[in-house]
Amino acid sequence: MFYHNLEDFSQRLILGEHHFITSTSIFKRAMLTGYLSILVICICLFYFLFDMYIGMYNAILYYLTLINFAIISFFLNRSGKYEYAKILLLAATLLIIALFCFTEPVNNGNYFNFFPITVAAFALYDYKEVHKGTIFTIISIGLFLATYFYNMPTQEAFETSATTNFPLQYLISLSATVLVIVFLIKLNKTIEHSLIAKDRNLIRTTRKLKASQQRFELAISGSNAGIYDWDIKNNLIYHSPMWKKLLGYNANELERFSIENFYELIHPEDVNRAKLNLQNHLLNGSKYSEEIRLRTKGGEYHWFCDSGQAVWNKAGKPVRMVGSIIKIHERKIAEERIKKQNRMLEKTNLELDNFVYSASHDIRSPLTSILGLINIALKTNDKREIEDCLNLMKTRIHRLDEFIEDILDFSRNIRLGKKLREINLYYFIDEILKEHDFGDQFDKLDVRVSLSSDFEVISDPLRLKVILKNLLSNASKFSNLRNESPWLRISALRVDGNFQLIVEDNGQGIRKELQGKIFDMFYRASEKSKGSGLGLYIVNEMVQKLNGNIKVNSVYGEGSQFIIELPDHKYAQKVDEVSAANTRTT
């Protein structure tokens, strides 16, 4: 308790009431400067009284001068001007000791005082200012040598006091040296404790950092995120192993990677958007988070969410950017699937609304007509008129039957999956022409099938039959019988792994402005049309179901050409067989 009170008193005495020094090294050396100043004052007072006692008055001026310098140094140190205080104390002490050595005999032992000054010079300066301590040491050694070899004339008074002064000088010098050494030991002990404490803190910090790093790595690995670090100044991007793995690369690949290399990986449709948003982030600090497609090592593009945060220097220039990519390919595919399903649902709902409205109208219309004809037949006794009513009823019933058959075809196309069979197209078309009645107008057409009898394909026979039946029925309904030679041509050919069915005629044709609507549900190109309006719509739906496409070329008044292109599974099968045979041969 007493020691702590004494230490606190000495600190307040030397550094003042409101001292606050953050550096331990500066604090300890400021305290040493104060101690040395007090020590010099005490030693000078002791010698002053001692010389007065033995009757020597020639050195009194030196003592008083050094006491004044020591007092000035003490208060400079107390006011926080530590550097000036140290220089003044060392310089004044060296000067006064040198004067004593030059004016008194060597055997007085004054040169002993150079040793504590030398030790103090190194103690007052730390390793960063060791050159200053070295300068004072060199000066001290130089003065020691100069005074030691200087031949001072022997004076009786000095000779008389030499026996007494020599051991006294030795004891005082030794005490001062020991004091400085004790301070250095204490300072070293304090620094050692500080280093031990810092070492312990460093160990704890290292453990916490390691634990934090492990948590970070676990979090990153769990999130399946790839980290990147862009050195903007040198234009070098570091990629974590996970970043490379997400794109199919090994850990030792994609070295010396620049931002231009990154742009080359981005899908051409996404690169300009990514560049713009990245530039906005670097210039304005806006948030950078983009969903982009990146090219994998295998050449495929996958969806990733790329986000990052830049760091700017004091001048406001970006110097570094750290971020991550997360693979969202499955999510984007699912989103596209949902969007497609939503579009199909919207289309289905719209078609359902149209279907309900048109179907109810088209079903009720012939039924209403039949009821009207029945009423007429019941009110007349004319046999001819009754027969006409029955014929008209028969026509209405046939039309209703065709409409119901179209509805069934539409329903089957939606519900049933594809069932591929090998089909001889020539005999398949011939069978359709023989089995189905396409009306009286069809019999007046010159129908020709232009394809070889061995033209075979693999496709869905049910849907292919409905497609051909509707196209032939459509050609019959819109034939131009006023033409001297109305005709209908059916042909097929193979094109780039597909096959084309071509149905063309020289009938009425379709106006150009109506050609884009003929595949809509319940669309009738003419008010005189007797069809359900479902025929070409069903054709288009079935062609799409078979992964094909349909195209129409028509000139109004001259005729129409329908081209249906479907996958040629027969051709694909042959290619697979040839490939397998080549593999076996190899």
- Is it the case that residue 154 has pLDDT exceeding 50? no
pLDDT grade for 157, boundaries at 50, 70 and 90: very low
Spatial strand order in the sheet of 225-231: 236-239, 225-231, 318-327, 301-312, 288-295
Within this chain, do residues 449 and 556 fall inside the same structural domain, yes or no? yes
pLDDT tens column, 219-231:
556 557 788 889 9
Within this chain, do residues 314 and 460 fall inside the same structural domain, yes or no? no
Within this chain, do residues 470 and 528 fall inside the same structural domain, yes or no? yes
* Count of the separate structural domains present in the chain: 4
Q: Which of the 8 DSSP states describes residue 524?
A: -
Taking residues 307-332, report their average pLDDT: 88
pLDDT grade for 546, boundaries at 50, 70 and 90: confident
Within this chain, do residues 265 and 393 fall inside the same structural domain, yes or no? no
Within this chain, do residues 343 and 280 fall inside the same structural domain, yes or no? no
Mark out the alpha helices in 419-495 (DSSP H runs). Answer: 425-435, 440-443, 461-477
pLDDT tens column, 181-198:
776 666 566 656 666 777
Query: 363: domain CATH number?
Result: 1.10.287.130
Within this chain, do residues 248 and 183 fall inside the same structural domain, yes or no? no
What integer best gives the mean pLDDT of the chain? 76
Within this chain, do residues 319 and 342 fall inside the same structural domain, yes or no? no
Query: DSSP string spanning 336-403?
Result: HHHHHHHHHHHHHHHHHHHHHHHHHHHHHHHHHHHHHHHHHHHH---HHHHHHHHHHHHHHHHHHHHH
The predicted pLDDT at position 140 comes to 78
Within this chain, do residues 580 and 535 fall inside the same structural domain, yes or no? yes
Confirm whether 265 is domain-assigned.
Answer: yes
Residue 424 burial class via C-beta count within 10 angstroms: exposed 0-12, middle 13-18, buried 19 and up: middle
Within this chain, do residues 395 and 427 fall inside the same structural domain, yes or no? no
- Is it the case that residue 123 has pLDDT exceeding 80? no
Domain that includes residue 528, residue range:
419-586
Taking residues 389-394, report their average pLDDT: 78
pLDDT grade for 435, boundaries at 50, 70 and 90: confident
- Is it the case that residue 524 has pLDDT exceeding 80? no
Q: Tally Cβ neighbours within 10 Å of residue 578.
A: 10
Query: DSSP string spanning 93-147?
Result: HHHHHHHHHHHS-GGG-GGGGHHHHHHHHHHHS-GGGHHHHHHHHHHHHHHHHHH
The predicted pLDDT at position 162 comes to 45
The residue whose two tokens read 């769990």 is: 222
pLDDT tens column, 241-251:
888 888 888 88
Confirm whether 504 is domain-assigned.
Answer: yes
The predicted pLDDT at position 195 comes to 64
Within this chain, do residues 190 and 246 fall inside the same structural domain, yes or no? no
Q: What percent of the chain has pLDDT over 70?
A: 71
The predicted pLDDT at position 17 comes to 67
Query: 572: domain CATH number?
Result: 3.30.565.10
